[in-house]
Structure 1
Amino acid sequence: MAPSAGLRFQLLSILIYACVISVGINMVSSKACPLYCLDVVSMTCNGTEVNFTRCNCCLAPKGCTLHLADGRSVYCS
C-alpha cells in the first residue's frame, strides 16, 4: 500500500529540515577567509623560516608571522 500524501509531506519536511540543520552546523564550524592577499615575501612559524608562504593569516597556521614586502610583519593568532 502506498503512503498517503500527508505522510509523504511529513517525511519530505523532516528530510528538508535535517538538511538545513546539517548545512547550518557545517557553516558555523567552518571558517570564512577574506578574499585578499598580502604581499608576503617570507613566513616564519615558531621562529623558524618555512619554505612555503600563505597570502593572509586566514590561510596560515596559528602562531606564524607573515613578513611583508614593505618591511612590516603580521602575526597570525
Structure 2
Amino acid sequence: MAFNKVGFILFVILSGAIIMGGNMKSVDGKICPQICYGAAYMTCPSSCDEHLPPLCNCCIAKTGCTLYNDDGIPICTAQ
C-alpha cells in the first residue's frame, strides 16, 4: 500500500516535470556574470548604429552590439 502511494507521487512529479519542461527555452550555453555595467546606451549592427536602451551587460546582448559610457567610450562588445 505504501509503495503505491510513493509510486503515484513520483508519477505526478515526473508528469509535471515533463509537461513543464515542454515550455522551457534552450539556452546557448553561455555563462553570464551577474554584473550590470550601467551603460548609457547601446548600438547594434541590425539597428544601423542607432542609440538603443542598453542591456545590463554584453553577455546578454545580441552578437555585435556594443555598450557605451556617457562619454561615448565603449564598455564591451557582445561576441
Q: TM-score band, normalised by the shorter chain?
A: 0.5 to 0.7
- CA-CA distance at 1:22 after TM superposition: 7.3
- State the Cα deviation string for residues 22-54 of structure 1 (Å, max 9, x = none): 788988934664322114122111042233111
Q: 1:56 to 1:22 in 2, by over 3 A?
A: farther
Larger strand proportion, structure 1 or 2? 1
TM-score under structure 2 length normalisation: 0.56
Q: Check whether the contact 2:66–2:74 (CA below 8 A) recurs between aligned residues.
A: no
The alignment of Structure 1 onto Structure 2 pairs a total of residues equal to 74
List alignment gaps of at least 5 residues for structure 1: none
Q: Give structure 2 stretches of 5+ with no counterpart.
A: none
RMSD: 3.6
Q: What percentage of aligned pairs have identical amino acids? A: 34
**TM-score, normalising length: structure 1:** 0.57
Partner in structure 2 of residue 34 of structure 1:
33
Q: Is this contact kept in 2: 1:42–1:49, CA < 8 A?
A: no
Is 1:15 the counterpart of 2:16? The answer is no
